[in-house]
Amino acid sequence: MTRIIAQPLTRENFSPFGDVIEAEGDGHYPINGGKTERYHALARPEATGPAGHVLISIFKATPYAFPLKLAAVERHPLGSQAFMPLSPRPFLVVVCPDENGIPGSPRAFLTRPGQGVNYPRNLWHGVLTPIGEAQDFLVVDRGGAGNNLEEFFFPEPCEIHLP
């Protein structure tokens, strides 16, 4: 069984797979008479296909046991998917590069509290994976007609470990 160790999530090491959503770095400025700091354009949601539109939802997610047995990944061909935790807790992010229409070798990232991610259209990724306890997430993704879910089941699962 392939063993993958999750690495820290940073904008640099995650850039081939999507956007890191966090209130750090450049791109922020004061609004509302200086009472609010706006962290601008942290991710770019996508919604294509028949009657495609952007949705905002809350997901209540249950934690997984570790080491995690990764048996499958999914992707969404008609829209992006962003996950932002509503509590200051880390979660696991699993992604795979596309290799001729199927997922390549999985990569695993461990968020810091306050970080979220935005997966672009067609990025193979694992399911929402909180660590240790249940967690709520603000989710921005696509609604509309058409099939926006593809799943891939690995011939042999891999095992993901936390650092």
Q: What is the pLDDT of residues 58-95, one digit of tens each?
A: 999 999 999 999 999 999 999 999 999 999 999 999 99
Question: What residue numbers bound the domain in which 155 lies?
Answer: 3-161
Tell the residue number behind the tokens 């956007």, with chain if given.
19
Composition of the chain by helix, strand, coil, percent to 5: 0, 50, 45
Beta strand 107-110 pairing with 7-8:
parallel
Predicted pLDDT at 24? 85
Instruction: Say whether pTM exceeds 0.85.
Output: yes
Distance in angstroms (rounded) separating the CA atoms of residues 63 and 161: 14
pLDDT tens sequence across 88-144: 999 999 999 999 999 999 999 999 999 999 999 999 999 999 999 999 999 999 999
Q: How many domains does the chain have?
A: 1
- How many beta carbons lie within 10 A of that of residue 141, not counting itself? 22
Q: CATH number, domain at 131?
A: 2.60.120.480
Which residue did the predictor score with more confidence, 26 or 54? 54
pLDDT at 26 exceeding the cut of 80: no
